[in-house]
Structure formats: structure tokens, C-alpha cells
Amino acid sequence: MTDFDEFYAAHYADLVVQIYAYFGDRQEAQDVVQEAFCRALANWRRVAGYDDPAKWVRRVAWNLATSRWRRARTALRYLLRQRAEEPVVDGPGPERVALMQALLALPDAHRRAMVLHYLADLPVAEIAQRERVPEGTVKSWLHRGRLALAAHFTEVENDAVR
Amino acid sequence: MLSDDDTRAEFARMRETVLREVRPPGTAAAHLTLTRRRRRLAAASSAVFVVAVAGGVAFAQPKPGPPVTTPLVIETTEAGSAAPPPDTRVHPSLPETTALHDVTRMRVKAGNAGPLRFTFVCSGSGSGRATVKSETASVTVTVTCGTPPVSTPIELDAPPDPAWVDFAIDWDAGTRLTVTPDGWALQVLDAEGKLTIMQRKST
């Protein structure tokens, strides 16, 4: 097993979860993360020398996902060519649907902060640096994100009780 | 409001369920994708090369119709050697050093409208006056030969359409061309390719 294989095995799935949580499309998240890994492989000698190669891949995947509409057609062709058959899985449970709905209702910046902090485990300082805002702003985004999630869960619970 | 820990727990649950659904295409698929892309890139590069070569050939094609009246004239330093054929790009008998006199003429096709930029590259010693004419413009520059070869750029106003351009180089007495290790002595370059005016045929 090469360094790249180990790196891929260690980070692929987690990056998919993060991209999915932000963009709300798992299939597309898998696709952009795979593409990001392809690019890492093409430049592996350089990328492997970075302090945190996963950070590089996440950034590339994130950028790719951001321009997803432009790339949607290519992604579709890629999927049709690459995947012989899609595994059949159960649909998402109600908790996840609720969380995804709540996340997707958040403003972009708040959602990014939530995903990077709670899924990618980035500290507030790093998110602030990445978003080019003061740390206080990120804390405020996280606070509002938690409020919105709580409100959404309460609403869902109330609906369930009725 | 959800606490930080509650939120973390919600995301952890979500992560767990999503991870169960993720099917990594794998590194083999990544390698395959890269191989395909590299092949495609190589094919595209080859296509560009073919276009460039074709451009060079078009550049060198003489216009059908009246022949150029005074073709390339070379007098060899070797006594008794035959005069080279007119307008020949490859001279099998081109010696190491060739004395030039009279006028070297060429007619070439300019591939595109727009400012035409050519560069004469001459290996040897001496110089000559090169006149380049299109239907709409005429420019004269001094072409210098040297070792290593000397480049002389020339720019000509654009003819309205792709058109023929006439070159005439009136060599100074005593000008001599020297064949480079690559087997050529005089070239005209443009953006799309090169026309080797004097070249020893490789055997």
C-alpha cells in the first residue's frame, strides 16, 4: 500500500461527509472529493510534502463543489462511466433529514462554519483565517447556527407530537 | 439552544450514518482517471504538433501559376559542382560553406491576415538586403549572417487576406553560408513554423 493509498483511505469518507453536510448532495460530494484526490495524486510529490495534505484536498473539493453547477454535466458523465452499479442503501433516517434541512436553511457562511467546526474539527481560529473574518464573527456564526438547529429540531419534534 | 456538546453529538450521529453509505471509488479509479487524462493530453499535444507542421508546409508552398523567375542561386566553392536546382529547400550537395551571390528569392504563403512577423536566421558570414513584399506593403532589412547563426526579425503590414509574400535577399559580395551541426544554413521562421531555405539532406 502506498502513502497515497493510506492517505485516501484515511480521509476520503470524512471529506465526503463534510462536503455533503455543506452542499446537501451525497453523490456529488463523493464525486468532487474523488476528483480532489485525483488532483492530489497528480501532484502527490508536492502535496505529500505539505504539513496537512488533507487540508489541501478539502480546499480543492470545496472549490470544486462551489462551482458544481458548471461542473454538473461533467460529473454526470464521469459517474456514468465510473460506476457500474450504485449500491442500494436505505433512505436517510428522520434525524439526518432534520439536520440536513436545518443546515441547508442556514446562511452559507454559518453553514460553512458549522461543518468545518463540528465535522472537520477545525478550531475557530483556523475557520476565521480561512473565511478572513475575526474569530468573534465565527463564534457568532456558530452560536446562530446552533440556535437555528435547535429551533428546527423543536419544530420537527412538535410536528411529530401533533 | 443546542449546547456545543449536543451539536457535536448531532453531527457525529450524522457522520456515522453517512459514512455507512459512502462507497469510495478507490485509488485504482483515481489512477485510471489520471492515466486517461494524460493520454488525452498527449493526444491533444500531438494534434497541436501536426497543425504546426502543416502550417509550416503551407508556409512553404509556392503559388501555382507563373514560376518565380530567379530562384535560389548558389555558387558552391567546390569547383565543378553542379548548380543547385531552383527553389529547393533541401540541397543534398550543400557543402559546409557556400558562397552566395545574386539574389535569393522565395514566395511563401502567409497563413493569416494581421501583422506578419518573420525572422531570418542565417549561419555564416556576411550580409544581404532582404526585401519582403506583400500586396500592400514592402519592407527592407539587412540580414546578417554569423556563427552562431544571427536572427533578423522583420515585420510587415498585414495583407487584407491570407496572401502570398515575396522575399528577395540581395547578398553582399563575399557572403558565405555555413551549415550548422543541425544541417541547415538559412531559415525563415514565423509564428507557426519554419521554412528551411538551405538544408543539407540527411542521409
Number of domains in chain B: 2
Residue B27 with chain A: CB contacts under 8 Å: 2, 4-5, 8, 37, 41
Substitution target from A6, A7, A17 for chain B, most B beta carbons within 10 A: A17
Nearest to A146 among B2, B25, B29 (CB): B2
Based on the fold, state whether residues B133 and B173 are members of the same structural domain.
Answer: yes
Pairwise CA distance, residues B102 & B128, whole Å = 10
φ and ψ of B202, to 5 deg: -75, 145
Substitution target from A4, A45, A90, A146 for chain B, most B beta carbons within 10 A: A146
Alpha-carbon distances of A92 from A28, A44, B16, B21, B108, rounded to whole Å: 16, 35, 12, 9, 70
Mean pLDDT for chain A? Answer: 82
Based on the fold, state whether residues B73 and B141 are members of the same structural domain.
Answer: yes
Q: Which long-range contacts (CB under 8 A, 24 or more apart) does B24-27 make?
A: B24/A8, B24/A9, B24/A12, B24/A13, B24/A30, B24/A34, B25/A30, B25/A34, B25/A82, B25/A83, B26/A8, B27/A2, B27/A4, B27/A5, B27/A8, B27/A37, B27/A41
C-alpha cell belonging to residue A158 = 412538535
The string of pLDDT tens digits covering residues A104-139 is 888 888 999 999 999 899 999 999 998 899 999 999
Based on the fold, state whether residues B55 and B72 are members of the same structural domain.
Answer: no
Alpha-carbon distances of B109 from A104, B152, B169, rounded to whole Å: 62, 20, 17
Task: Give the global pTM.
Answer: 0.48
The string of pLDDT tens digits covering residues A79-108 is 666 655 555 555 555 666 677 878 888 888
What domain range is B31 assigned to?
4-59
Last residue of a domain, one of B59, B76, B106: B59
- Look at residue A10 in the predicted model and tell me its pLDDT: 93
Which CATH number does the domain housing residue B111 bear? 2.60.120
Per-window interface: A 100-139 vs B, CB < 8 A: 100, 114, 118-119
How close, in Å, is residue B34 to chain A by CA atoms? 7
Extract the runs of DSSP E, i.e. beta strands, from chain B: 74-76, 90-91, 97-100, 103-109, 116-122, 124-133, 138-145, 150-156, 164-171, 176-178, 184-189, 194-200
Based on the fold, state whether residues B79 and B139 are members of the same structural domain.
Answer: yes
Count of beta carbons in the 10 Å neighbourhood of residue A127: 24
Last residue of a domain, one of B28, B43, B59: B59
Based on the fold, state whether residues B76 and B41 are members of the same structural domain.
Answer: no
Based on the fold, state whether residues B66 and B144 are members of the same structural domain.
Answer: yes
Based on the fold, state whether residues B32 and B79 are members of the same structural domain.
Answer: no
Residue A23 with chain B: CB contacts under 8 Å: none
Instruction: Say whether B25 and A95 touch across the interface (CB within 8 A).
Output: no
Pairwise CA distance, residues B62 & A62, whole Å = 56
B22 interfaces chain A, CB cutoff of 8 Å: yes
Based on the fold, state whether residues B164 and B113 are members of the same structural domain.
Answer: yes
Based on the fold, state whether residues B82 and B34 are members of the same structural domain.
Answer: no
- Look at residue B39 in the predicted model and tell me its pLDDT: 77
Last residue of a domain, one of B40, B59, B78: B59
Domain architecture of chain A: domains with CATH: 1-89 (no CATH), 91-162 (1.10.10.10)
Which residue from B201, B151, B143, B134 is spatially nearest to B172, judged by alpha carbons?
Answer: B143
Instruction: Say whether B23 and A87 touch across the interface (CB within 8 A).
Output: yes
Looking at residue A72, its amino acid is A
pLDDT band at B83 (very low <50, low <70, confident <90, very high): very low
Based on the fold, state whether residues B94 and B177 are members of the same structural domain.
Answer: yes
- Look at residue B68 in the predicted model and tell me its pLDDT: 32
Based on the fold, state whether residues B65 and B55 are members of the same structural domain.
Answer: no
Q: Is the complex ipTM more than 0.90?
A: no
Based on the fold, state whether residues B143 and B44 are members of the same structural domain.
Answer: no
